[in-house]
Amino acid sequence: MNDDCLIGRQGDLVAQQVADSMVVLDVETGALYQLNPTAALIWAAIEIPLSLGAIVEKMARRFDAELPMIRRDVVAMLELLADEGIVSIT
């Protein structure tokens, strides 16, 4: 996955903030996902489709960690969400 990839939400989804995490319901399948605080921030960032590079930059401004580590973690989360069919990567 390169930094120019466009990441967006996919499907008929309803999301609700619960404390510092997020719960996402796929209305079509009935699947329910609970996102931890970091995943919730990524989810919020892709309300409007955004490049991977821009998402990583947003997370880098939020967390005190090395950029390669942040990128690795963001990519891992996005791949999991894409595997579930609730995120598109183009």
The tens place of each residue's pLDDT in the chain, 90 residues long, gives 999 999 999 989 999 999 999 999 999 999 999 999 999 999 999 999 999 999 999 999 999 899 999 999 999 999 999 999 999 999
Q: Count CB neighbours of 42 within 10 A.
A: 23
Other residues' Cβ atoms within 10 Å of the Cβ of residue 85: 13
Domain boundaries, the chain: 6-89
Pick the CATH number of 6-89 from 3.90.930.60, 3.10.20.30, 3.30.70.270, 3.30.565.10: 3.90.930.60
pLDDT for the residue numbered 5:
96
| DSSP conformation letters of 54-90 | HHHHHHHHHS-S-HHHHHHHHHHHHHHHHHTTSEEE-
pTM of the full predicted structure? Answer: 0.91
35: its two tokens: 């996102």
pLDDT for position 75 = 97
